Structures are given as structure tokens and as C-alpha cells.
């Protein structure tokens, strides 16, 4: 029969098993830190990438929407929440004539019924491919004009380019798929304004006369000239047309800075919690290890008597701490992964901010970094105890009966 | 000569005054000899044994083992020496509670770098000491006598030249104490030297006896007389 291995690792593991509650509690502290750091980092990075994408590619400086619908417009833009709101289309020409307006392009928002492509309602956005600068920056294919009967779908809508989707009984060919935007666009469907008006007419979706649908739009995206501030143009627009058209404005710069501020607070919370948990784990482990070493002096003396060197004992304590650190880190990482990956859609929906998924390579790199940092908590916390073992005097523990 | 001790002294502080736990002590122990060390609690027995085991450094004097000064070695070398040449049965419960009987016995073999395995030797010792059936048991399941046998087997694991036993029959009933004495006698008969600190007269009959009081060894003849008088009283 092969001889069972008798190693330092096995002894250290045995020692931890002998005190299961203490070992599990310490590993739990490390797990809490690893969980917070990993989940928080993934969350922050995803949100950060979403924000960067938004700031980099959102071509519009201003969005004009009907009065009271600025929040809905933001929800549709950021989270893809299906919204339906309208204003008169004739405003578009007036906006284009405003000094400082470089480009203005209209959109028409329509919430779909459950479509074959999707598990829930999607936001249908009619846009004008000729004047568009809102959708095009994220379009991979079909950078030219979108034709009637064609649609472009968001990155998270599960369909293939060239396939067909039926919306309100009308079949559309998928001409292109957008790149991931991290925004509501990812779950939206884009078609020409004429097609969306056609849907409204055919399905009788609008209140009043469906044939009059083309007299309405939901929003106007405005790109301002380099010498004009979006705020000034917005003020001028409101001064001239707010009363006649009952308008509201969304300044995209404010939108980005609002998101950045919220992201900063999420990020601060994450780092603060992680730092608190790390410090706490370190302190508690240091105290527990130190008191345990005192409590184990008799046992450690026996090891010394039998011929264990001081460094061997120190290594055993460090190894116990490593097992706790690495074990706790793995538990924390696993718990964070089990929460973050299957439920990411729900989590980001609840947060309501643009987000872009990190690559698996980056996720792995962060997991390794967290594993190192959390795993190091154990050995760091036990250094003092390990060193004190190399100095402690075993004689008093053996003099009990003298 | 296996062990030679000359002018050994160790002082401790108790409150504000210092006292000598071991004072100018000299001792010689031949190979294969059985020596019993008698003395009252606090007489310096354990301090002496720990200095011989290389666990505490004396203030003065020398301990020569096989002619080599123990305290001329640095700590790692002295630790390796203890592991190889010395078996130590500490006083009281000294088994590691998270290791089985067999692993407790094997442990000393694995504390210093060595080639080969420990299982065969450990099993041989459990057979010899009549504890084969306990190999897989844990210390919490053992009686006092069984624990002492396991501790003895562990002390013999690396085939030491000297076994130091601190009160090996303490707290044992008379029958078990006699069995322990008989076992030590058999093992001593195979050439292993023993230095035993004890109060047990049974063990005293196995070899030379010494008495320690106030850290000094008494004259051997006087010591025997004193002890006999004490026993009569």
C-alpha cells in the first residue's frame, strides 16, 4: 500500500479543519472583501465603459422632446425602456433654422408588441437616415442609407443580419446590427421614419387619424456648431418655441456628467467598502492568529520538542493563513461571479446606466488581481504571529508540573 | 560516554529576586544506561531535561553529547540534532489532537529532511508497544496509559540514542505504571539510553537513581537513603 503523504500542507490543512468555525469565519471575512472588490470592479468597469462609449459617440448635443418627457427620453436612450411621446414634426424646420444648429435629425419612438426577436417589448425608433448622426456612429453594417422594409437592430437583439423580423404584422429585413452601445439602443429596433409611419397607419396605433402620424415626431437630435454652446441654443429654442410647441430639452453633456457623477459615487462606495472589508479582515485575522498562537503554545512546543525548526513552525502558520486567504478569495470570487454574470441584465436594468460588458480576458485579469489581493490578506495578517513563533520560549509551557 | 554535563547553571527571576533552577550540576550518562531523576516539584528536573534537550540555553556550564558541545551548535543544528538523536516524552498530554495515533508517531520523521518512508517503522513500533489496534484512533479516544505508549512510540520513531521522559507514569494507575516500567525496561535492554524524571519507585529499580534538590544533584547514596526514609514516613 502506498504511504500516505505527510506534508506541511496536510498538517496546516488538518489544523484548520480542527477549528472549523474559526476557519470558516476567517475565510468568510476574506470572501466578503473578495466579493465586494470583484463585483464592484466588474460593475464599475462595465458602467465606465458604457459611459465612455456614450460620451465618445453620442453625436447629439441637445435632444428636443415634448414637455414633461425629458425623463422618458433619457430612459429610452439609456435603458431602452419603451416610450411613446410625440410633438409636431413642423418644429424640425424651425430648429434647423436656428443660428448655431449644425445638424438636426428627427426620431419617432414606438413601443412594439412582443416581437418574435425578443422576449419582451422593444423600442422601435424611426429615424431619418439622410440627416441621422445619432444612430450611424454605432452601425457596423449598412452605413449607407437604410431603405424601406429594412431595419437595424441593437446589439442585444438576437437576430442575424439578413434575417427577417415581423413587427405589427409587417416583415422587415435586418440590414444591420449596431455595435454594443451600453445604452437603450442595444435593445432597440431602428427603421426609416416612413416605415414607422406605415406601421402606425397599418396597425392603427395612433390616437386620432393614423394617416396624420407623419405630422408627428418624438424627438429632435441637435448637433451644434463649434462656436455655439448647446445651452445657449437650447435657451434660444425655448425662448422662441417653448410656448407654441410645449417643449423640454435634454442636454447630453449634462446627461453624461450626471452619469459620471453617479458612477463616481458607485465607484467610491465600492472602493470604500473594499478597503473597509480588507482592513477589517486583516485586523480580525491578525488578532485571531495572534490569540490562537498563544492558545496553541503547548502544541507548538511539542512540534519544537520533536524537532521542528522555528522557520518550519512559521511556515506552517503562514500556510494556514494562505489557505484561509485563498479559500476565502475563491469563495468570494465564485459568489460574485454567480451573482454578476447570470443576473447582470437585471442588475444593470436596476442601476439604469449605460454599460458595456468587459471582455473575458479582462474579467479573468481582475479575478486574478482580486485573488492575489484577497489571498495576500491571510499571510499579511499572520506575519506577526509567524514571527512571534520564531521567538517564543517553549520552556514555560513545559514547566507546568515541575 | 553518551552525555556529559559539567557545571550547568540556569537562573530565573521570580518577582524581584533571582534563583537558580539548576545550580552547578554535573552528570554523566553512559550509552544504554537507564537513569532515574527523582526530586520534588520545582526542584529543577524539567529545567535540566529541557537544557539537555537543547530547548533552553544554560547560563553557564556545558552539555556534551557524544563529545559535541550542544550549545556550540546554532538553533537549527540543535533542532536537527534533537530530531535525530533524542526522543522526548514531555510531561502530561503531548499528542497532537488533530492527528491519528499513527500520524502522531510518524510526525518526528517528517520534521527534518530525510529520504524514505515512515509508515513501516511506525507500524513496527505500534506492534511492539501493543497499540496496533489504535493506529487510526485519535488521542481523544485514548486512555492515559495508551497516550503514554503512543508518546513513547513517537519518541522512538527516529531510533534515538537517548530518550528523555518527564514523568512517564504520572497519573497512571499502579497496574498501568508497572506495564510502562516494564516496557521501558525492554526498550532499554535493546541499547537505548533513558533519562527519566519521575516520582515512581518502580522506575527507580530499572537503573541508576539520582536526586535533585534546589537545582543540585544530591550525593547518590544519601539520595537513596533520603528517599527510602521519605517512603517509610
Nearest CB neighbour to B111, from listed A14, A301, A306: A306
- Whether the predicted pLDDT of B226 surpasses 60: no
Report d(CA B169, CA A63) in Å as an integer. Answer: 93
Ordered structural domains, chain B, with CATH = 3-232 (3.40.50.300)
Band the pLDDT of A228: cuts 50, 70, 90. confident
Helix B119-128 and helix B144-156: axis angle, to 10°? 140
Nearest CB neighbour to A305, from listed B76, B90, B92: B90
* Predicted pLDDT at A402: 42
CB contact under 8 A, B96 and A400: no
CB contact under 8 A, A6 and B110: yes
Contacts of B75 in chain A (CB under 8 A): 309-310
Band the pLDDT of A277: cuts 50, 70, 90. confident
Report d(CA A101, CA A61) in Å as an integer. Answer: 10
Q: How many CA atoms lie less than 13 Å away from A135 in the CB half-sphere?
A: 35
Q: Which residue has the higher pLDDT, A86 or A329?
A: A329
User: Residues with Cβ < 8 Å from A12, sequence gap 6 or more?
Assistant: A316, A319, A320, A323
Nearest CB neighbour to A307, from listed B82, B99, B118: B82
Unique residue bearing C-alpha cell 527571576: B13
Report d(CA B105, CA B87) in Å as an integer. Answer: 11
Give the model confidence (pLDDT) of B46-65 as tens digits.
Answer: 899 999 999 889 999 999 99
E runs forming strands in chain B: 3-14, 17-29, 34-38, 60-65, 68-69, 86-89, 162-166, 193-197, 208-213, 216-217
Report d(CA A375, CA B65) in Å as an integer. Answer: 45
Report d(CA B78, CA A168) in Å as an integer. Answer: 89
Q: What 3-state DSSP class applies to B216?
A: strand
- Whether the predicted pLDDT of A89 surpasses 60: yes
User: Residues with Cβ < 8 Å from B76, sequence gap 6 or more?
Assistant: A309, A310, A311
Which helix (H) or strand (E) segment is A66 a member of? strand A62-66
- Touching check for A299 and chain B: CB below 8 Å? yes
* Predicted pLDDT at B30: 93
Band the pLDDT of A319: cuts 50, 70, 90. very high
ipTM score here? 0.88
Per cent of chain B over pLDDT 70 is: 94
**A224-259: burial string, b at 16+ Cβ within 10 Å, e else:** beeebebeebbeebeeebeeebebbbbbbeebbeeb
Candidates B141, B67, B96; CA nearest to A300 is: B96
User: Residues with Cβ < 8 Å from A190, sequence gap 6 or more?
Assistant: A124, A125, A126, A127, A135, A146, A151, A152, A153, A178
Band the pLDDT of A400: cuts 50, 70, 90. very low
Nearest CB neighbour to A398, from listed B82, B91, B96: B91
Band the pLDDT of A136: cuts 50, 70, 90. confident
The residues spanned by each domain of chain A are: 8-52+258-398, 68-245
Cite the DSSP H helix spans in A246-359: 252-295, 297-306, 310-340, 344-351
Contacts of A306 in chain B (CB under 8 A): 83, 88, 107-108, 111, 154
Q: Residue A55, class by beta-carbon neighbours within 10 Å (0-12 exposed, 13-18 middle, 19+ buried)? A: middle
Note which residues in 8-27 of chain A have CB less than 8 A from chain B: 11, 14-15, 17-18
Report d(CA B133, CA B11) in Å as an integer. Answer: 45
Candidates A59, A288, A89, A38; CA nearest to A200 is: A89
User: Residues with Cβ < 8 Å from A145, sequence gap 6 or more?
Assistant: A129, A130
Q: What is the mean pLDDT of residues A236-259?
A: 83
Minimal-distance CA residue of chain A relative to B44 = A402
Per cent of chain A over pLDDT 70 is: 88
Band the pLDDT of B196: cuts 50, 70, 90. very high
Pairing of strands A101-111, B17-29: unpaired
* Predicted pLDDT at B154: 94
| Range ranked top by mean pLDDT from A156-170, A288-302, A306-320, A348-362 | A306-320
Q: Which residue has the higher pLDDT, A253 or A313?
A: A313
Report d(CA A62, CA A251) in Å as an integer. Answer: 5
Band the pLDDT of A397: cuts 50, 70, 90. low
Candidates A119, A260, A123, A108; CA nearest to A178 is: A123
Lowest mean pLDDT among A117-121, A345-349, B212-216: A117-121
Minimal-distance CA residue of chain A relative to B94 = A302
Give the model confidence (pLDDT) of A191-223 as tens digits.
Answer: 999 999 888 887 766 566 666 777 889 899 898
Q: How many Å lie between the alpha carbon of B136 and the closest alpha carbon of chain A?
A: 13
CB contact under 8 A, A3 and B46: no
Candidates B93, B94, B77; CA nearest to B85 is: B77
- Touching check for A307 and chain B: CB below 8 Å? yes
Band the pLDDT of A399: cuts 50, 70, 90. low
Band the pLDDT of B71: cuts 50, 70, 90. very high
Q: How many Å lie between the alpha carbon of B134 and the closest alpha carbon of chain A?
A: 17
Contacts of B166 in chain A (CB under 8 A): 398, 401
* Predicted pLDDT at B103: 93
Q: What 3-state DSSP class applies to A209?
A: coil
Minimal-distance CA residue of chain A relative to B214 = A402
Q: How many Å lie between the alpha carbon of A381 and the closest alpha carbon of chain B?
A: 24
- Whether the predicted pLDDT of B81 surpasses 90: yes
DSSP B13-59: EETTEEEEEEEEEEEEE-TT-EEEEE--TTSSHHHHHHHHTTSS--S
The residues pairing with A107 across neighbouring beta strands, listed in sequence order, are A127, A219
Lowest mean pLDDT among A19-23, A98-102, A386-390, B141-145: A386-390
- Touching check for A398 and chain B: CB below 8 Å? yes
* Predicted pLDDT at A401: 42
CB contact under 8 A, A3 and B118: yes
Contacts of B42 in chain A (CB under 8 A): 402
Lowest mean pLDDT among A14-18, A65-69, A295-299: A295-299
The widest CA-to-CA distance across chain A, in whole angstroms, is 107
Q: Are A108 and A89 in contact (CB under 8 A)?
A: no
- Whether the predicted pLDDT of A83 surpasses 80: no
Pairing of strands A150-153, A123-127: unpaired
Give me the long-range contacts of B128-133 (CB less than 8 A, separation at least 24).
B128/B153, B129/B153, B129/B183, B131/B101
Q: What is the mean pLDDT of residues B208-222?
A: 81
* Predicted pLDDT at A285: 85
Q: How many Å lie between the alpha carbon of B70 and the closest alpha carbon of chain A?
A: 15
Candidates A160, A153, A161; CA nearest to A189 is: A153
Q: Which residue has the higher pLDDT, A6 or A273?
A: A273
Candidates A207, A175, A176, A210; CA nearest to A196 is: A210
Give the model confidence (pLDDT) of A7-16 as tens digits.
Answer: 888 889 988 8
Unique residue bearing C-alpha cell 550549545: B71
Q: What is the mean pLDDT of residues A261-281?
A: 84
Unique residue bearing C-alpha cell 449605460: A354
Mean pLDDT in chain B? 88
Nearest CB neighbour to A395, from listed B45, B55, B117: B55
Report d(CA B233, CA B224) in Å as an integer. Answer: 14
Give the model confidence (pLDDT) of A137-171 as tens digits.
Answer: 777 655 567 888 999 888 888 778 888 888 888 88
Cα separations in angstroms, A320 against A293, A302, A313, B58, B143: 12, 18, 11, 34, 30
Amino acid at each position: 500500500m502506498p504511504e500516505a503523504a505527510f506534508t506541511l500542507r496536510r498538517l496546516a490543512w488538518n489544523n484548520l479543519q480542527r477549528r472549523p468555525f474559526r476557519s470558516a469565519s476567517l475565510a468568510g471575512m476574506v470572501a466578503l472583501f473578495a466579493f465586494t472588490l470583484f463585483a464592484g470592479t466588474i460593475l464599475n468597469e462595465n458602467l465606465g465603459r458604457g459611459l465612455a462609449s456614450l460620451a465618445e459617440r453620442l453625436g447629439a448635443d441637445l435632444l428636443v422632446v415634448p414637455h414633461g418627457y425629458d425623463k422618458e427620453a433619457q430612459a429610452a436612450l439609456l435603458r431602452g425602456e419603451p416610450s411613446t411621446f410625440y410633438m409636431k414634426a413642423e418644429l424640425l424646420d424651425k430648429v434647423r433654422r436656428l443660428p448655431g444648429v449644425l445638424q438636426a435629425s428627427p426620431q419617432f419612438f414606438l413601443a412594439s408588441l412582443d416581437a418574435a426577436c425578443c422576449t419582451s417589448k422593444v423600442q422601435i425608433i424611426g429615424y431619418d437616415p439622410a440627416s441621422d448622426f445619432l444612430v450611424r456612429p454605432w452601425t457596423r453594417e449598412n452605413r449607407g442609407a437604410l431603405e424601406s422594409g429594412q431595419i437595424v437592430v441593437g446589439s442585444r437583439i438576437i437576430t442575424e443580419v439578413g434575417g427577417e423580423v415581423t413587427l405589427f404584422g409587417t416583415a422587415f429585413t435586418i440590414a444591420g446590427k449596431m455595435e454594443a452601445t451600453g445604452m437603450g439602443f442595444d435593445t432597440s429596433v431602428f427603421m426609416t421614419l416612413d416605415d414607422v409611419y406605415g406601421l402606425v397607419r397599418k396597425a392603427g396605433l395612433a390616437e386620432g387619424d393614423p394617416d396624420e402620424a407623419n405630422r408627428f415626431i418624438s424627438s429632435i437630435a441637435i448637433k451644434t456648431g463649434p462656436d455655439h454652446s448647446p445651452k445657449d441654443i437650447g435657451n434660444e429654442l425655448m425662448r422662441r418655441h417653448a410656448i407654441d410647441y410645449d417643449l423640454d430639452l435634454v442636454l447630453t453633456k449634462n446627461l453624461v456628467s450626471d452619469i459620471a457623477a453617479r458612477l463616481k459615487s458607485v465607484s467610491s462606495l465600492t472602493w470604500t467598502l473594499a478597503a473597509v472589508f480588507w482592513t477589517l479582515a486583516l485586523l480580525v485575522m491578525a488578532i485571531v492568529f495572534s490569540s490562537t498562537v498563544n492558545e496553541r503554545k503547548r502544541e507548538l512546543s511539542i512540534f519544537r520538542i520533536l524537532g521542528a525548526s522555528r522557520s518550519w513552525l512559521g511556515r506552517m502558520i503562514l500556510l494556514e493563513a494562505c489557505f484561509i486567504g485563498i479559500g476565502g478569495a475563491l469563495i468570494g470570487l465564485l459568489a460574485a461571479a454567480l451573482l454578476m454574470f447570470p443576473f447582470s441584465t437585471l442588475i444593470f436594468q436596476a442601476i439604469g446606466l449605460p454599460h458595456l460588458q468587459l471582455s473575458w480576458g479582462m474579467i479573468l485579469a481582475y479575478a486574478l488581481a482580486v485573488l492575489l489581493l484577497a489571498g495576500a490578506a491571510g499571510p499579511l495578517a499572520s506575519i506577526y504571529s509567524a514571527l512571534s513563533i520564531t521567538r517564543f520560549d517553549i520552556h514555560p509551557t513545559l514547566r507546568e508540573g515541575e | 560516554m553518551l552525555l556529559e554535563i559539567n557545571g550547568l547553571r540556569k537562573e530565573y527571576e521570580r518577582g524581584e529576586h533571582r534563583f537558580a533552577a539548576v545550580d552547578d550540576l554535573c552528570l554523566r550518562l553512559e550509552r544504554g544506561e537507564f537513569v532515574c531523576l527523582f526530586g520534588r516539584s520545582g526542584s529543577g528536573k524539567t529545567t535540566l531535561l529541557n537544557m539537555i534537550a537543547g530547548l533552553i540555553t544554560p547560563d553557564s556550564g556545558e552539555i556534551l553529547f557524544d563529545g559535541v558541545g550542544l550549545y556550540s551548535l546554532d538553533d537549527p543544528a540543535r533542532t536537527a540534532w534533537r530530531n535525530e538523536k533524542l526522543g522526548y516524552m514531555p510531561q502530561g498530554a503531548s499528542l497532537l489532537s488533530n492527528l491519528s495515533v499513527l500520524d502522531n508517531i510518524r510526525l518526528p520523521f517528517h520534521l527534518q529532511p530525510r529520504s524514505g518512508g515512515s509508515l513501516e517503522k511506525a507500524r513496527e513500533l505500534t506492534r511492539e508497544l501493543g497499540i496496533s489496534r489504535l493506529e487510526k484512533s485519535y488521542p481523544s479516544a485514548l486512555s492515559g496509559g495508551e497516550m503514554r505508549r503512543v508518546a513513547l512510540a513517537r519518541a522512538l520513531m527516529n531510533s534515538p540514542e537517548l530518550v528523555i521522559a518527564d514523568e512517564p507514569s504520572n497519573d497512571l494507575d499502579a497496574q498501568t505504571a508497572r506495564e510502562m516500567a516494564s516496557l521501558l525496561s525492554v526498550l532499554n535492554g535493546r541499547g537505548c539510553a533513558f533519562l527519566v524524571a519521575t516520582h515512581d519507585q518502580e522506575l527507580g529499580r530499572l537503573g541508576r537513581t539520582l536526586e535533585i534538590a534546589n537545582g543540585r544533584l544530591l550525593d547518590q547514596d544519601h539520595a537513596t537513603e533520603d528517599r527510602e526514609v521519605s517512603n517509610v514516613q
